[in-house]
Chains A and B, each alone.
Chain A
Amino acid sequence: MTHLIALGFMLQGMCGALFQFIPVAVGGNVWRPKLVANTVQPLLLLGTLLLVAGLSYSRPELLSAAVPMFLLGLGGFVVAVAMALWRTPATGMTLWAMRMAIGGLAMTVLLGSLLAEAVAHGLSLPIIELTNVHLAWGMGGWALMLLAGVSYHVVPMFQLTKPYPDWLTRWFGPALLLLVIAWSSQLFFDSTWLPVAIAIPLLVILSVYAGATLWLQYTRRRKIHDATSLYFRVAMLSMLTFSFSGAVFFLFPTFGVDPRFAVWLGVLAFAGVFVSAISGMMYKIVPFLNWLHLQRLGAPMSAVPNMKKMIPAEAMTGQLRLHVLALCLLLAAVWQPNLARLAGVAFAASCAWLGWNLIGAIRNYQKFRDQIRANALHH
């Protein structure tokens, strides 16, 4: 289940977003983006299905079959994106965060592949420690690093806030990277205090980043309450709750031994932080891509419909409300298991509604494209 969200939703969305974000934000060009996307996406999809089926039904051959899909697909993606990120003449912390994030993705894939092979063939490796380190690279070194780098650019731009403070953008990414590397040392040292000594500063920097983003939203020049801003607020509030509960988890071992705490943190990180932030970004990226592609049809520039007509605002905010309800139910279900079914249905419905809104945007793109072409023939 975790991999269906991490690979099926998060990774697909983040890889796709990079194709758009690299040219727009850092002026870089991914080598033959159509070819890379058309190769990476099917491999990623197939790899995800094999991995999830292999884990769900304990089928070692499926796990082994998934590994080359990820190594080939994501390996190619990492190389293509890394070349674009190192060749661009742009500078700034967004670019550096993206460079670190792509390294984080490479580490996540390598560790994940090793884990899949270890589980499939019963290799004598420290599976729990490897899983912890794989998770830290995936969630911290890749996903959070990318989210932070992108937010330095898009939060001031789309939410009309002041820029992030220089000290924060300069230190957050490198500190996060160092802490993830330090966290990985548990593969080599057996220590009871080391995880706590690393986790606490990690949770502190997460709180600083989330708190700063909320503060920027609170003090912005013009108050905008669109789905993207609200989704970012949900993501940052989830990150603050994650940090606070994580600190309790690590500092008070009596709470830490309760297995429900790990589920609570997982729901906050996946559904609370990343599904929220990525959904919010998709509501900006997909209409913008529609609009940009319609511009390229060669019609008079003002003939292209306004970006707001691509997905109705009410559909986005309605879906956002359902997502928040689903998140609250999922969190409550950790402590009240009788709510689990209802929470699952609400979360599935919210994801389906997100998909429906995005499919609607594609249908609108086709409708506007046909209108523009028909008008061009008419004249």
Chain B
Amino acid sequence: MTDHVIDGRELQPPEPMELTLEALDTLPEGDEVLLLLYCQPHPLFSILRNHGYAWTEEVRTDGTREIRIRKQAG
């Protein structure tokens, strides 16, 4: 499994979301997109839900959110 990392912490919204969606369109089976942000992207989550993606979220000590996105099984 490969991680495709998008560091959105220094980018202006919705650039991180646009890059994430572009990456997901060409994401090989079984791979994950790792998105790094300082905030919770509510609009992205709703798009992911509608397009059948699953995600997990972890918060680092510096406030960075690690959001791992993959195609939902089945």
A residues neighboring B (CB under 8 Å): 23-25, 27, 156-158, 160, 221-222, 224, 226, 288, 291-292, 295-296, 300-302, 304, 306-307
Please tell me which one of the listed residues A156, A221, A296, A300 contacts residue B50 in the complex, with CB atoms under 8 A apart.
A296
Q: What are 27 A-B residue pairs whose CB atoms fall within 8 Å in the complex?
A: A23-B42, A23-B43, A24-B42, A24-B43, A25-B42, A27-B42, A156-B38, A157-B39, A158-B13, A160-B10, A160-B12, A221-B10, A222-B10, A224-B12, A288-B13, A288-B14, A291-B14, A292-B43, A292-B47, A295-B21, A301-B21, A301-B22, A301-B24, A302-B21, A304-B21, A306-B18, A307-B14
- Specify the chain A residue showing the minimal Cβ separation from B40: A27
Q: Tell me the smallest distance from the CB of A133 to a CB of chain B, in Å.
A: 37
Which chain B residues in 1-56 approach chain A with CB under 8 Å? 10, 12-14, 18, 21-22, 24-25, 38-39, 42-43, 47, 50-51
Please count how many residues in chain B sit with their CB below 8 Å of the partner chain's CB atoms.
16
Main secondary structure of the interface of B (DSSP, over half): helix
Q: Could you tell me the distance between the alpha carbons of A24 and B44 in the complex, rounded to whole angstroms?
A: 10
Contacts of B42 in A (CB 8 A): 23-25, 27
Contacts of A158 in B (CB 8 A): 12-13
Contacts of B47 in A (CB 8 A): 292, 295, 301
Main secondary structure of the interface of A (DSSP, over half): helix
* A301 and B39 form a contact (CB under 8 A): no
Contacts A288-B13, A302-B22 aside, 9 further interface pairs with beta carbons under 8 A come to A23-B42, A23-B43, A25-B42, A158-B13, A224-B12, A295-B47, A300-B25, A301-B24, A307-B18
Contacts of A157 in B (CB 8 A): 13, 39
Query: Which are the 8 A-B pairs with shortest beta-carbon distances?
Result: A301-B21, A302-B25, A302-B22, A24-B42, A222-B10, A301-B25, A300-B25, A295-B47
Contacts of A226 in B (CB 8 A): 12
- Specify the chain B residue showing the minimal Cβ separation from A229: B12
CB-based A-B contact count at 8 angstroms: 39
Q: Could you tell me the distance between the alpha carbons of A334 and B73 in the complex, rounded to whole angstroms?
A: 67
Q: Could you tell me the distance between the alpha carbons of A20 and B12 in the complex, rounded to whole angstroms?
A: 18
Contacts of A300 in B (CB 8 A): 25
Contacts of B10 in A (CB 8 A): 160, 221-222
- Specify the chain A residue showing the minimal Cβ separation from B51: A301
Contacts of B14 in A (CB 8 A): 288, 291, 307
Q: Which of B18, B24, B47, B51 has the most CB of A within 10 A?
A: B18
- Specify the chain B residue showing the minimal Cβ separation from A27: B42
Contacts of B25 in A (CB 8 A): 300-302
Q: Could you tell me the distance between the alpha carbons of A331 and B60 in the complex, rounded to whole angstroms?
A: 49
Q: Tell me the smallest distance from the CB of A365 to a CB of chain B, in Å.
A: 15
Q: Tell me the smallest distance from the CB of B16 to a CB of chain A, in Å.
A: 11
Q: Could you tell me the distance between the alpha carbons of A296 and B12 in the complex, rounded to whole angstroms?
A: 22
Contacts of B24 in A (CB 8 A): 301
Q: Which of A156, A222, A296, A307 has the most CB of B within 10 A?
A: A307
Q: Could you tell me the distance between the alpha carbons of A295 and B46 in the complex, rounded to whole angstroms?
A: 11
Q: Tell me the smallest distance from the CB of B25 to a CB of chain A, in Å.
A: 4
Q: Tell me the smallest distance from the CB of A21 to a CB of chain B, in Å.
A: 11
- Specify the chain A residue showing the minimal Cβ separation from B39: A157
Contacts of A306 in B (CB 8 A): 18
Which chain B residues in 48-70 approach chain A with CB under 8 Å? 50-51
Q: Could you tell me the distance between the alpha carbons of A25 and B25 in the complex, rounded to whole angstroms?
A: 26
Q: Could you tell me the distance between the alpha carbons of A296 and B51 in the complex, rounded to whole angstroms?
A: 9
Q: Could you tell me the distance between the alpha carbons of A300 and B22 in the complex, rounded to whole angstroms?
A: 9
Contacts of A292 in B (CB 8 A): 43, 47
Q: Could you tell me the distance between the alpha carbons of A334 and B47 in the complex, rounded to whole angstroms?
A: 50
